[in-house]
């Protein structure tokens, strides 16, 4: 089976740290959302770059899990908005009482 990576932007992600020196999961989620808003098609998370060497193997695995989870959430939200748009709905708007 041949795989194809679609054209686009695939940044090497940084590993954000909390003040206690551990991986900052919320900052990582924000970073994934920011990359998504900027039009990135994917990410290189926990790859062989700078600060990742300071993470334990468990933290590296956690980084990949968080990035995958947040990227999936963003994709699901995008798909929902597109479906609503096609149906003529107003996704996210509240009715006035």
Cα separation, 70 vs 72, whole angstroms: 5
pLDDT value at 96 more than 70? no
Which of 52, 43, 46, 27 is CA-nearest to residue 75? Answer: 43
Q: How sure is the predictor about 82, in pLDDT bands with cuts at 50, 70 and 90? A: low
Which of 18, 43, 23, 47 is CA-nearest to residue 33? Answer: 43
Sequence ranges of the domains in the chain: 25-87
- Report the half-sphere exposure of 24 (CA within 13 A, side-chain side): 15
Q: So what's the pLDDT on residue 4?
A: 78
Cα separation, 77 vs 23, whole angstroms: 25
């Amino acid at each position: 089976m041949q795989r194809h990576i679609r054209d686009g932007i695939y940044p090497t992600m940084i590993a954000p740290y909390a003040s206690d020196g551990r991986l900052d999961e919320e900052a990582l989620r924000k970073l994934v959302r920011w990359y998504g808003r900027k039009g990135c098609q994917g990410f290189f998370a926990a790859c062989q770059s700078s600060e990742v060497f300071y993470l334990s193997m468990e933290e590296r695995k956690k980084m990949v899990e968080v990035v995958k989870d947040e990227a999936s959430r963003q994709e699901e939200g995008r798909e929902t908005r597109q479906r609503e748009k096609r149906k003529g709905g107003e996704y996210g708007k509240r009715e006035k009482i």
